[in-house]
Structure 1
Amino acid sequence: MTLETKKTVFVELGRFLSQFSEDNSSKKETVLHNDLFFDDFIKLIKLSQSHNGWYTPEQVYFSIQSWAKALKRENLDIWLSGYKIDAVKPKNIALILAGNIPLVGFHDFLSVLITGHSVLVKTSSNDQHLLPFLAKYIIAVEPKFADKITFVEGKLENFDAVIATGSNNTARYFEYYFKDKPSIIRKSRNSIAVLNGTETKEQLSALGEDIFRYFGLGCRNVSKLFVPKDYTFDSFFEAIFEYQDVIHYEKYANNYDYNKAVFLMSNFKLLDNGFLTLKEDKSHASPISSVFYEFYDDIVDLQTRLKSEDEQIQCIVSNNLIENSIIYGETQNPQLWDYADNVDTITFLLTI
């Protein structure tokens, strides 16, 4: 298959995904293979929460729409324009995927196939259904992909390189187990926001999206705030009040009650609005339903510190206070060229 053929297949997948939204899923006559896949995908979305309690229809639809927007011809063209892909010698690439948010491993899956390699996928037990379904759709659009996609339940074998995502603990296992193979091993990372007190209500409300989307389970979710000395959180709490319904979701509420109780029993000072706790803490990794915060004296000193902690941070949100930071509300809308851990997956796949 040529690169243009592969692009066309994924553009068609994007068109298929664009039909599905929480408010109105509408079948379009011009989309290929709707007779085979449309109704079954609706059923799968409705069943997702029974497969993984965190995969509510709202969160699954958000992920689907995000990929529908990403898989457009112009985005694929921009993303791949700087690479020489057609000369690749195909190899077998193993993927060990996470399952913290819906379709979290799709970018790696896409990267392997778009570069011409074959993919061996070991899905997370928390996300075993969505990606295999999309793989079936891809194969229906272009049957040549059937020989390029394999889902593995047992031991991974006969692969040339691996991309594995997990916690810091599992990363150590991956690094040892795959020491003789070219690899990308992704560890735990968190995202942060840097405020200076001049943020508008609209910006702080958008920051709530960065905190609460996917219930805070993603590495691109903001879990830590850096604020200037004497900062008060009144405006922040007022702006995020619109996200209060999150507490009505049982799994989130259970985490809120448990983590708040643990903090209080440890005599930690908390700020609390009834659905989110704020705790002063130097760590970037806060538990679900809580965000840590830390005061800073000088923004230049903070910039230097954050550069030194780069390997712990996935992305930074700010109002242009930090170089290469993301605007409020956009952490869960990465572009195709926004690589996890800032590791260029395509370059890796072209050089193995």
Structure 2
Amino acid sequence: MTINQRISAFNQLAQLFKYITNKTLPTCEALKTKFESLDETIGYAISDAEAYNNWFTKENVFFALDNWAEALTTSNLAEWVKDYPMATTPKNVGIIMAGNLPLVGFHDLLSVILAGHNALIKTSSKDDKLMAFVIQFLQGIDEEFQTIIQTVERLEGFDAVIATGSNNTARYFEQYFSKVPNIIRKNRTSVAVLNGTETLEDFKALGDDIFRYYGLGCRNITKIYFKSEEQIPTFFENIMDWGNIVINHPKYANNYDYNRAIYLLGKDDFLDNNFVLLKKDQNLHSPIAVVNYEIYEDLDQVKSFLNENQDQIQCVVGHDMKDNPNYVEFGKTQTPTLTDYADNIDTLKFLAEI
């Protein structure tokens, strides 16, 4: 299968995602008919995804599909891969996927296929329904995908591995897959550094960076550096639109109640706006429904600390942070492009060199 055929298949997938989220039909009559015939299957896939993982609300699934629909245009994909030679001898690349966000492992699958390799996929039980639907659709476009993409219970016969997990599982992965080329991903999170020049729109966008997907992703902001205490009321006021969305989700609400009770019992220093806890804490990582914060005086010290802890950070937001390699604009952490690689490791470059 040529690179153009592979790109075409993923572009058809993008058109399907557009159809799912806003019923936009393609101009191709054959695709129109095919998409409309999939209505029942689509409905089952989305409802099953939420039934098996309550974090996967319809709204969050649609948000993820919309992002991928924007990314998977023919021009975007062609531009992305143009500097990477497609493999002449396909290798079997094992992919151990995470499941914290809808289709969070899709970028790895896309990378492996466009690099010219075969994908052996170990899906997460938290995100196997949507991924199975995507794979089934691709295999329906071209039978060759039935060989190129295989879902497995146990990885065997692999030439390279891309594995995503926690810091604990990463140690196991590093040992188990040490004899083959590998990318082993660990826990990361994202931070914001505020300097006092933020607009109300910046604060609202920051709310998106914090609460989209209920804060479950490595691109969600879990730590804020405020220039002064006076910024906090403005911050709380401008994230209020997220209040009803998150606190009415049972799992999020349970986390909020639990962490609030723990902090009260421990007499910890925190602020509360009835749907998120703002806790004074030096840690970059925070529990669900909690955002850690510090008040800083020296911006250079903050920058130095973030640079020293690059291995824990995926995104950095803030007007003064444009020189940081992980810099992202306010409100953009959850809309990554094709070149926004997890753990900042160029997956296509890795796949071109195995």
TM-score tier (shorter): over 0.9
The secondary structure found in structure 2 opposite 1:188 is: coil
The secondary structure found in structure 1 opposite 2:95 is: strand
Q: CA deviation at 1:317?
A: 1.0
Q: CA deviation at 1:125?
A: 1.1
Q: CA deviation at 1:82?
A: 1.9
Q: How does 1:65-80 map to 2 (within 5 A)?
A: 65-80=66-81
The secondary structure found in structure 2 opposite 1:93 is: strand
Render the CA deviation track for 1:165-202: whole Å, top value 9, x for unaligned: 00000000111111111110000000111101211111
Q: Could you tell me which amino acid in structure 2 is paired with residue 224 of structure 1?
A: K
Q: Could you tell me which amino acid in structure 1 is paired with residue 135 of structure 2?
A: A
Render the CA deviation track for 1:114-162: whole Å, top value 9, x for unaligned: 1111111001111111111111111111221111111012x21111111
Change (3 A) 1:258 1:122: same
Residue pair 1:303, 1:322 contacting (<8 A) in 2 also: no
Partner residue of 2:335? 333
The secondary structure found in structure 2 opposite 1:191 is: strand
Residue pair 1:27, 1:38 contacting (<8 A) in 2 also: no
Mapped to 2, the partners of 1:230 and 1:205 lie a distance apart of 18
Mapped to 1, the partners of 2:138 and 2:36 lie a distance apart of 15
Normalized against structure 2, the TM-score is what?
A: 0.95
Aligned counterpart for 1:343 among listed residues 335, 342, 345: 345
Q: CA deviation at 1:264?
A: 1.2
- How large is the Cα RMSD of the aligned pairs? 1.4
Q: How does 1:102-141 map to 2 (within 5 A)?
A: 102-141=102-141
Of all paired residues, the percent bearing the same amino acid is: 45
155-164 vs 321-330, which moves further:
321-330
Normalized against structure 1, the TM-score is what?
A: 0.95
36-45 vs 171-180, which moves further:
36-45
The secondary structure found in structure 2 opposite 1:192 is: strand
* Unaligned segments of structure 1, at least 5 residues: none
Partner residue of 1:160? 159
Change (3 A) 1:331 1:253: same
Partner residue of 1:205? 204
Q: Could you tell me which amino acid in structure 1 is paired with residue 347 of structure 2?
A: T
Stretches (4+) displaced over 4 A: 26-29
Q: CA deviation at 1:36?
A: 4.3
Mapped to 1, the partners of 2:251 and 2:54 lie a distance apart of 8
Q: CA deviation at 1:80?
A: 1.3
200-209 vs 294-303, which moves further:
294-303
Partner residue of 1:96? 96
Mapped to 1, the partners of 2:188 and 2:335 lie a distance apart of 17
Q: CA deviation at 1:300?
A: 2.1
Partner residue of 2:56? 55
29-38 vs 167-176, which moves further:
29-38
Q: What is the number of equivalent residue pairs in this alignment? A: 348
* Unaligned segments of structure 2, at least 5 residues: none
The secondary structure found in structure 2 opposite 1:20 is: helix
